[in-house]
């Protein structure tokens, strides 16, 4: 997919550390061994055996609207008007069958519930609707940072159509409306039965050809692709127990899973897409960004990013007070390991995420006794970590080949969970030069 707006703004580390004095002797060598050991312990961190670390909740109504939008371009198909067994010819000629909408319905875990609605039309007027209700197992293709969920029209060809009672009544009312008063008096109370028989005949004989022809115009009926931050996905669990399509994402990141509970936090706007991740996952996204070179991982003694800097950085999450942990290691010369701790807060401001840690403080220092930390970040005097973008253009959605921008409109950190609400909007096509 093309580049996307940011899903999450995470953790850019920019240390400024000065060392005053300090000889390198036996004590310093012991300090270096301890610092190096602590760095190795950080690199050996592990995550849960099998726990979802992220969940994406997409409203079923939003998904249905997006899937139905391209259907308006499909041409209708003509079918013969069934014999009503009436004493007069109403002169209706043929009817038309058009594919109107795709509605996503609640379904058992691992499956997708669909209601594909066809409309029966006469001279441009919608007469009644015919539904295909199916529960199917879609294809789910997880890859690095990408989830694709697709369903082929062929999966519905053997699904028996249904006629909701309200739609049967609409067809009978349509026929009754067309009858002249004399014919209506002649037919009497049989109109509902005659109309129902005629509609049943149409569904059995003529509708399958129209259904197959209309579905044949589509390569895929459902094609939902979500690009996430570049995370190593191991599996995806699909659920739709209520008003959302839920994608529970499992990764090999060394991060804790989400706490037990529903996919969507209560009290928010149910019309928005919601992404939730554990705090540990948010921290590991920053570490992944450093590994990829997307944000600096090494810094010099002046605190400036440098590919040959003596300091290496890392981020962790530890449940409890001030859960965000920021590590900086200097493993040669005057060695030191500095751990900062703070409570992060995140807000959505003008479509971007603003992440701050106003209560940042030094939690622990390991290293030579004469090492002195002079400064950390330009905002240390304000007791604030300065954060910059770590996952640029991380998340987007594509539905049936149409790209959607996902703009953050609300964000929060509650306990050990980061929650981001996203508003979807079709991306405007690029202007031709």
- Residue 227 gets which letter from DSSP? E
Handedness of CA 335, 253, 244, 119 (dihedral sign): positive
- Residues whose CB falls within 8 Å of the CB of residue 396, separated by 6 or more in sequence, listed in order: 1, 2, 4, 5, 226, 227, 403, 404, 405, 406
- Residues whose CB falls within 8 Å of the CB of residue 278, separated by 6 or more in sequence, listed in order: 53, 54, 255, 256, 257, 258, 259, 317, 416, 417, 418
- Residues whose CB falls within 8 Å of the CB of residue 139, separated by 6 or more in sequence, listed in order: 148, 149, 150, 151
Residue range 58-105, pLDDT digits in tens: 999 988 888 888 777 788 999 887 777 666 666 667 889 998 998 999
Residue 88 half-sphere exposure toward CB, CA atoms < 13 A? 14
Q: Is the pLDDT of residue 156 over 90?
A: no
Q: What is the pLDDT of residue 37?
A: 94
Q: How confident is the model at residue 25 (pLDDT cuts 50, 70, 90)?
A: low
Tell me the average pLDDT across 140-144: 77
Residue range 262-309, pLDDT digits in tens: 999 988 899 999 999 999 998 898 888 888 887 778 877 666 778 888
In the numeric block, the tokens 């991060």 are attached to: 255
Tell me the average pLDDT across 199-228: 83
- Decide if 15 contacts 328 (C-beta within 8 A): yes
Handedness of CA 203, 208, 209, 215 (dihedral sign): positive
Q: Which range among 17-31, 32-46, 90-104, 147-161 has the greatest average pLDDT?
A: 32-46
Q: What percent of the chain has pLDDT over 90?
A: 21
Residue range 178-189, pLDDT digits in tens: 777 777 777 777
List the beta bridge partners of residue 116: 102, 132
Burial class (CB in 10 A: 0-12, 13-18, 19+), 328: buried
In the numeric block, the tokens 């040959």 are attached to: 308
Q: Is the pLDDT of residue 194 over 60?
A: yes
Nearest to 203 by CA among 167, 254, 173, 256: 167
For residue 33, give the H/E element and its range. helix 26-43
The two tokens of residue 203 are: 């569904």
Angstrom CA distances, 259 to 35, 326, 411, stand at 32, 23, 18
Q: How confident is the model at residue 218 (pLDDT cuts 50, 70, 90)?
A: confident
The edge-to-edge listing of strands for the beta sheet with 298-299 is: 298-299, 311-317, 324-330, 336-342, 361-367
The answer to which of 223-232, 247-256, 288-297, 390-399 has the lowest mean pLDDT is 390-399
The answer to which of 7-21, 86-100, 232-246, 414-428 has the lowest mean pLDDT is 7-21
Domain boundaries, the chain: 26-57+224-426, 75-217
Q: Is the pLDDT of residue 23 over 50?
A: no
Burial class (CB in 10 A: 0-12, 13-18, 19+), 226: buried
Q: What is the pTM of this model?
A: 0.81
Alpha-carbon distance of 427 to 429, in angstroms, equals: 6
Q: Is the pLDDT of residue 387 over 50?
A: no
More confident residue, 183 or 372: 183
Q: What percent of the chain has pLDDT over 70?
A: 81
């Amino acid at each position: 997919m093309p580049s996307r707006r940011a899903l999450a703004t995470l953790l850019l580390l920019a240390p400024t550390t000065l060392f005053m004095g300090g000889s390198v002797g036996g004590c310093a060598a012991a300090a270096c061994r301890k610092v190096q050991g602590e760095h190795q312990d950080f690199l050996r961190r592990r995550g849960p055996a099998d726990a979802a670390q992220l969940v994406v909740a997409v409203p079923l109504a939003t998904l249905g609207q997006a899937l139905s939008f391209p259907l308006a371009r499909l041409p209708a198909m003509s079918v013969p008007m069934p014999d009503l067994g009436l004493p007069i010819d109403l002169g209706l000629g043929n009817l038309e069958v058009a594919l109107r909408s795709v509605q996503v319905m609640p379904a058992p875990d691992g499956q997708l519930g669909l209601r594909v609605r066809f409309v029966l039309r006469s001279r441009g007027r919608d007469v009644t609707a015919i539904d295909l209700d199916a529960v199917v197992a879609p294809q789910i293709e997880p890859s690095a940072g990408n989830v694709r969920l697709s369903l082929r029209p062929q999966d519905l060809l053997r699904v028996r159509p249904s006629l909701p009672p309200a739609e049967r009544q609409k067809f009978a009312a349509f026929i009754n409306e067309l009858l002249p008063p004399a014919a209506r008096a002649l037919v009497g109370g049989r109109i509902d039965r005659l109309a129902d028989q005629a509609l049943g005949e149409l569904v059995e004989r003529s509708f399958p050809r129209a259904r197959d022809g209309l579905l044949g115009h589509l390569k895929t009926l459902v094609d939902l692709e979500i690009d996430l931050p570049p995370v190593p996905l191991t599996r995806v669990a699909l659920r739709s127990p209520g008003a959302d399509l839920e994608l529970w994402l499992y990764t090999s990141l060394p991060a804790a899973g989400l706490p037990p509970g529903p996919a969507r936090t209560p009290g928010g706007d149910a019309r928005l897409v919601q992404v939730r991740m554990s705090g540990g996952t948010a921290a590991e996204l920053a570490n992944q960004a450093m590994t990829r070179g997307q944000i600096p991982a090494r810094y010099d003694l002046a605190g400036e990013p440098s590919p040959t800097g003596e300091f290496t950085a890392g981020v962790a999450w530890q449940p409890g007070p001030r859960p965000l942990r920021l590590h900086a290691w200097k493993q040669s010369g005057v060695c030191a390991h500095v751990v900062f701790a703070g409570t992060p807060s995140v807000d959505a401001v003008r479509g971007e995420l603003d992440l701050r840690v106003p209560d940042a403080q030094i939690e622990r220092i390991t290293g030579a006794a004469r090492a002195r930390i002079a400064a950390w970040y330009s905002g240390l005097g304000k007791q604030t970590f300065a954060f910059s973008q770590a996952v640029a253009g991380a998340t987007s959605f594509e539905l049936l080949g149409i790209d959607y921008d996902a703009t953050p409109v609300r964000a929060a950190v509650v306990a050990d969970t980061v929650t981001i609400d996203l508003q979807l909007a079709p991306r405007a096509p690029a202007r031709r030069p």
